[in-house]
Amino acid sequence: MTRIGRFLRQFKLDELPQLFNVLKGDMSLVGPHPEVPYYVEKFREDYQDVLMVRPGLTDLASLKYIDEQVILGKAAKPEDEYTNKILPEKIRLAKLYIEHASFVFDLAVLAQTLLQLLGLRSVILKVTDRDDHDEVAVFESSVVFRLLSKYRRPIIITFDLALIVLAYYSAFWLRFDGQISSDATQLFLSTLPWLVLIRVIAFMVFRLNEGLWRYMSIWDLKKIIGGTLAGTMVFYGLVNWGFGFTGYPRSIYIIDSILLIGFLCGIRLAVRVFRERKVLRKTKRVLIIGAGDAGENIVREMQTHSTSSYTPIGFVDDDVSKLGKRIHGIKVFGTRQDLSGILHAHKPEEVLVALPGTESAVLREITAVLSPFNVRIKTLPNLGDILEGKVTIGQIRDLAIEDLLQRPPVGLDPQPVRSLIDGKRVMVTGAGGSIGSELCRQIVALEPKSLILYERHENSLYAIAGELMDRGHSCETYGILGDITDVSRLQEILTTYRPDIIFHAAAHKHVPLMELNPGEAFKNNVLGTRVMAEAAAQFGVEHFVLISTDKAVNPSSVMGATKRVAELVVQGMASRSQTRFLTVRFGNVLGSNGSVVPRFQKQIKAGGPVTVTHPEVRRYFMLIPEAVTLVLQAAALGEQGAIYVLEMGGQIKLLDLARNLIRLSGQVPEKNIPIQFIGLRPGEKLEEELVGECEQAVPSSVDKILRIQSEKSIDPTFLTHILGKLEDGQVLSHPPSVIALLQQLVPAFHRPEILEPVTVSQVC
């Protein structure tokens, strides 16, 4: 032990050198005291919460065990005494501090530490062996705490009076270079009471004593400046015209005002800064992409919330005029072109994209640049929330795959749809599925007279019916169990509820499963549609809308072929019925039951590998709400026998989708999570299509919705003849016969040669 060390130990100042760590930001004044690694490892589980807190110079354990060396010196086995008794109590007190830490509590700990160093015990804060709540109650019921709470405003006024006097005296001291003459002293003393009186009145008028220092803001600054300048002008008039002190130095008015504003703002800002320090947890270093209003907003939120788990380290922005500048003290490091170098240099733990309303192409570029780095990517709510001032730290969310779509979601005019649905009886088949359930959600918001949910899976039906009931919509909803191929059940339901509009979403959609079960695919997708369409015509339904798929175009799978035949059935019914029949096609729906995204996410969560059929497979993607909005808009258009599709932009490679999902999970593709290619499955194509060989897409009356015109039409008698054959149970149970008849109905139906699985090394 050195001489200095012996002196520090004797006077219990062992922690004094750690003030340097406090100034560096490694430690706080108050917080759990650091422990040596040996004991931390021994009590690792107990230390999990404690290690999340910035350590401090003093804490509750330091107060209780300020004589720790004396206690251990008296123990027969000091090591056992410390390990079994003292250290568990220190951990308990550290957790107690974490639970109840506050500005006033920290002040009490600091004050009690100082008093104990001076030999005064248990004056402000007493640490006892009672339970946690009793220990905190000892402090909160103390005289000092009650006085601080009860007389807060008089204390603030006293502080302000002291600062008024200090600023005035300092103004004289500076004006006379520290040599205040007796005449100047007399002038100071004779005018001081009047100045204090004037300033107190001005502060009351400007309500300076009503604000909470912890929330010091521009509003408070304006009030301080206004109150100070108003008082100075009144004082100037009193001195010059009231007292006639013509020799009064005019510079004192200016110096006094500047100093007083500085003192008043300084003490309030000091309290706010102290309260907003992040002592209760280690924070994540976050890089902000976007130094605009949204970025500025969120950084201010991070800095003003002491419980924020983020520490902003810098901005990235493409506006070169901002480079090198600071926003709330946070530097703009560079542009997006410099992003890779910035990440290498500053090593953020997370990247926050504060670019609300930006194009998805920009987000994909950013994601690609970040792909080699093991960082999580966050983003903010939409632009509307930002403009309305609703953005908070709590709304920071992970960047989602929806943000990386090839095109922005399509927004359409809701008024025609509302006119179609309002006051009508609406029926949705397959109501428990991804598309069906979203249809139900959007339809009930349009205030139909009633909504009939038709579904054969009871759990799915129960879930959507319960959800709609919990939302409290005014329309009547009926959860009906039934199969679309059951003619008698359908007639019973249509007789009872008399729907005006039917949305037919019930179908088998899983391509590989339908390859193994072509008879079931035909029975449900084709015969079920035929039964539904004929029932709709029989009972005078106004609109019948078939939900179809892009896989019905030049189909290569049984599922696609059956959906194409279903389209032909609906078009055939349109030619001989008063019911308005129409079809809507769209691509893959993100997040729907059985879609690739939930499967990829489960594989990523399990640690991989993520399985992709082929490196060149591409698909169209839509959001579920977007797909349903298209269905409703198409229904509102309602041209007899029409097929509608959405302008869907370009297709997305499933390999890119998988890699982006891995990146969004904070992992690195092929490094943390492997990707495995398993080859195309039966019935799958490399790319999907929205327009067939004998079709062309023309604009409809609604932007972004196209109408499909067919150059060929199928003979209704031929269609009826083939369907009649397929209604034979023996044919349906023989897969080759089903496929042969499907090929007669859909000449474009061809089954591609299955490509061999490829390996990652072949791609990379």
Percent residues over pLDDT 90 in the chain: 13
Q: Evaluate whether 301 touches 308 at the Cβ level (below 8 Å).
A: yes
Strand pairing class (705-710; 695-699)? antiparallel
CA nearest to 660, candidates 753, 744, 590, 734: 590
Q: 427 - beta bridge partners?
A: 452, 502
Q: State pLDDT tens for residues 513-540.
A: 888 888 899 889 999 999 999 999 999 9
Distance of CA 567 to the CA centre of its chain: 40
When comparing pLDDT for 148 and 756, which is higher?
Answer: 148
551 flagged as catalytic: yes
Q: Is the pLDDT of residue 349 over 60?
A: yes
Phi, psi for residue 67 in degrees, rounded to 5: -105, 40
Q: State pLDDT tens for residues 302-335.
A: 776 655 667 888 898 888 888 888 888 888 898 8
When comparing pLDDT for 68 and 545, which is higher?
Answer: 545
Q: State pLDDT tens for residues 652-695.
A: 777 877 877 777 666 777 777 888 888 777 666 777 776 767 77
Which domains does the chain possess?
3-149 (no CATH), 151-275 (no CATH), 284-399 (3.40.50.720), 415-592+621-649+689-745 (3.40.50.720)
Predicted TM-score of the model (pTM): 0.55
Structural tokens at position 401: 């795959």
Which of 217-221, 283-287, 666-670 has maximum average pLDDT?
283-287
Q: Is the pLDDT of residue 235 over 80?
A: yes
Q: Scanning the structure block, which residue is given the tokens 């082929």?
A: 614
d(CA 296, CA 330): 10
pLDDT of residue 637: 83
pLDDT of residue 764: 34
**With bands split at pLDDT 50, 70 and 90, how would you rate the model's confidence at 124?**
low
d(CA 644, CA 646): 7
Specify the DSSP class assigned to residue 671: T
Q: Is the pLDDT of residue 108 over 60?
A: yes
Which helix (H) or strand (E) element contains residue 480? strand 476-481
**3-state per-residue secondary structure call for 234-292:** HHHHHHHHHCCCCCCCHHHHHHHHHHHHHHHHHHHHHHHHHHCCCCCCCCEEEEEECCC
d(CA 422, CA 501): 11
Distance separating the N- and C-terminal Cα atoms of the chain: 61
Average pLDDT over residues 285-294: 84
Structural tokens at position 365: 């570029």
**With bands split at pLDDT 50, 70 and 90, how would you rate the model's confidence at 454?**
very high
Q: Evaluate whether 525 touches 552 at the Cβ level (below 8 Å).
A: no
Average pLDDT over residues 572-590: 83
Structural tokens at position 102: 């506050």
d(CA 418, CA 445): 9
397: amino acid identity, one letter: R
Q: Is the pLDDT of residue 504 over 50?
A: yes
Q: State pLDDT tens for residues 4-22.
A: 887 777 776 777 788 888 8
Percent residues over pLDDT 70 in the chain: 78
Q: Which member of 551, 602, 671, 712 is catalytic?
A: 551
Q: Is the pLDDT of residue 240 over 50?
A: yes
d(CA 168, CA 252): 8
Q: State pLDDT tens for residues 184-217.
A: 888 888 899 999 899 888 888 887 766 555 556 6
Structural tokens at position 526: 């084709």
**With bands split at pLDDT 50, 70 and 90, how would you rate the model's confidence at 389?**
very low
d(CA 161, CA 159): 5
pLDDT of residue 602: 81
